[in-house]
A and B are shown apart, each in its own frame.
Chain A
Amino acid sequence: MSIRTTYGIYINARIHARRSELLTKQRYEELLQSSDPAGIVRGLLGNPFYEKDMAEALLHGEGANAVEEAAGRNLDREFELLTRIVRREPLRAEAMMYFLNRWDLAAIKSLLRRGIRGESAGRFGLVTGPSLPWPVMERYAAQTNSLESTVLMLAGQFPSLCGKLPRLLASRNEEQHGAEAVAMLETALDRRYFERCGDFMWTGPRLAPVRAYLRLEVDRINLRSVLADLLYGVRSADGRGAWLKGGLIEVATLDSFAASGSLEQAISMLENTSYRALHQVFSRVQQTGQLGALDRRFEMLFVERLGRMVHQDPFGLALFMNYVWLKWLECANLRVLARGVEAGLPSGRVREELICLT
């Protein structure tokens, strides 16, 4: 159900306009022709949306690092703008912010991991998110010097996501210290986010796009777990795993996937689910032993499904979600181009990783 308030229409118009400015497939192809990252830098300096970020990034570095910094700066600014817009949208603000929190998870986790190293870590490995831009991250990093203090700070700042972490950290057993404790906290954080979404997404028809998107996310996580476990042969023989609930694939089906014991059988069982179109991706995972293709295919699927929803309801949440994913993918695509060219990868390999849906 769409909301046709004046502000809602204004948001939609702005997002439509921004979406039309995203880099096109043709532009990526032009950038891919560069023999070194400097060509991509030149290309971005000539783009009005990246010109300023690229110029600022060139003050700190060059080549692929500069491209990465410019793309990151651009994404941070976009997140900042979206957060500002979203907060003024009374009816959908909660859902939109919850959706944006998806990108905050990585930033929160980077703070937790930094907690193992303490003060010596500096800016090492800090990731930003829509609610956690650079200044905030730096302030939080300066305020915390251990895992305990990081968890307490996060619980105060993100009570809905991290509220239970201090208690969980206190109840850990003696064997769980350092990285193991962080792994436990991260797992709890992810579960909290996705399982809370699981409850949240069933309420109200207005949130249909969020529901549909999160179902895909849950399926991605569950299928990835199945594949990873089969690839590394780690789960118990009965195959019963701690799957996330709320996806399109039933828990019983996931259990039978895991119990099948081999990738071939799991792939053949996939035919009976709504993901039979991913058959090729699964086969590729089987051939290469690498899971990367699965994530990229699902990201493509998110954008495609959300794009379809935009056609069904142009004033719904899907437009916002679709745009956020497209913008994130644009940032990733620029990094793929720069890093791929820098590492001297064949253009076919780089092209495989690009997701061009505009």
Chain B
Amino acid sequence: MCAENITPTRMNLLSRRSQVKLASDGLSILRGKREALLKDLIRRARLLRDKQRELQHRGREANAALAMARAVRGTAEVESVTAAGERSLAVSVQIEKLWGLRLGTVEHGSVIRAPQDRGISRVDYSTHVFDAAAAAEAMVEQMLECSPLELQVTTLGEEIRKLGRRINAIEEYLIPRLREEIAFIKSVLEEREREERFRLKRVKKKKSRAKVEEVADVAE
């Protein structure tokens, strides 16, 4: 909005001043929120980094264990055991609230099964296949740890970016514009005051000249 389109009244000046105060207060709150979210983001990102490192390690282990299981027992036997061990995994999603943000967390039991829960013989089984299954389950468990954290970090990052934009908008656009408007109103009001004073001076001068002329007329 262009400053020239504003009605330069005292009322508007007071309103703009209160708006500047409100925007400055909002700015400091937003900065505080961004600070807090940043701290949280860094904490979670560090945690995620460690967990991802562990995930990569477990992924490599699972890959090697699967390669060895396929090698020692044959792909067909691994597939066969996989078919017997199919299951669905129960997880519950909880919501954590942070500065009005809804962050999801996943709660789950132990993913790694004991040998007797794999749906195959408890007597004669291939330990390589079991090792591969356990390694894959350990990887899945780590993925369940990592995935909500990754989503939380993304959500927090998005929110911080949004906050940054808002802070920038207030700091770089709203407050300067309001200040500009205040300056404009102030200058117009001062101009008006000067004009008024000049007008009053001229009236006073006119009146005193009239009075002088009246006195001269009376004297004649």
Do A and B share a complex? yes
Cross-chain contact B121 with A109 (CB below 8 angstroms): yes
Min CB–CB distance A108 → chain B (angstroms): 11
Min CB–CB distance A90 → chain B (angstroms): 30
Name the residue of chain A whose CB is nearest to the CB of B80: A125
Cross-chain contact B128 with A335 (CB below 8 angstroms): no
B contact residues around A327 at 8 Å (CB): none
Number of interface residues of B (CB under 8 A): 39
Rounded to whole angstroms, the CA-CA distance of A124 and B118 in the bound complex is 18
Min CB–CB distance A270 → chain B (angstroms): 17
Does any Cβ of B come within 8 Å of A244's Cβ? yes
Complex interface residues of chain A between 178 and 230 (CB less than 8 A to chain B): 178-180, 182-183, 186-187, 189-191, 193-194, 221, 224-225, 228
Cross-chain contact A183 with B119 (CB below 8 angstroms): yes
Contact of A68 among B70, B79, B82 (CB under 8 A): B70
Name the residue of chain A whose CB is nearest to the CB of B129: A292
Stretch of A251-259, A260-268, A336-344 contacting B (4+ beta carbons < 8 Å):
A336-344
Cross-chain contact A109 with B80 (CB below 8 angstroms): yes
Does any Cβ of B come within 8 Å of A127's Cβ? yes
- A100-129 CB mask vs B (1 if < 8 Å, else 0) is 000001100110011011000100111110
Does any Cβ of B come within 8 Å of A237's Cβ? no
- B56-77 CB mask vs A (1 if < 8 Å, else 0) is 0000000111011011111111
- B152-178 CB mask vs A (1 if < 8 Å, else 0) is 000000000000000000000000000
Cross-chain contact B84 with A335 (CB below 8 angstroms): no
Given known contacts A114-B80, A224-B127, A336 and B68 CB-to-CB distance under 8 angstroms: yes
What total of A-B pairs shows CB separation below 8 Å?
138
A contact residues around B26 at 8 Å (CB): none
Given known contacts A179-B119, A189-B121, A221-B124, A127 and B67 CB-to-CB distance under 8 angstroms: no
Given known contacts A113-B84, A295-B126, A338-B71, A180 and B121 CB-to-CB distance under 8 angstroms: no
Which of the four size classes fits the interface of chain A?
Answer: 35 or more
Cross-chain contact A113 with B71 (CB below 8 angstroms): no
Given known contacts A113-B84, A116-B84, A68 and B75 CB-to-CB distance under 8 angstroms: yes
Contact of B84 among A183, A187, A244, A337 (CB under 8 A): A183
Cross-chain contact A292 with B121 (CB below 8 angstroms): no
Min CB–CB distance A248 → chain B (angstroms): 17
Cross-chain contact B121 with A187 (CB below 8 angstroms): yes
Q: A110-B76, A225-B123, A339-B67 are in contact. List 14 more A-B contacts (CB 8 A).
A: A68-B70, A110-B80, A125-B77, A183-B116, A193-B124, A194-B123, A224-B127, A290-B134, A295-B128, A338-B71, A342-B67, A345-B64, A349-B64, A353-B71
User: Which A-B residue pairs are the 7 nearest by beta carbons?
Assistant: A179-B119, A125-B80, A186-B121, A190-B123, A291-B127, A343-B67, A125-B79
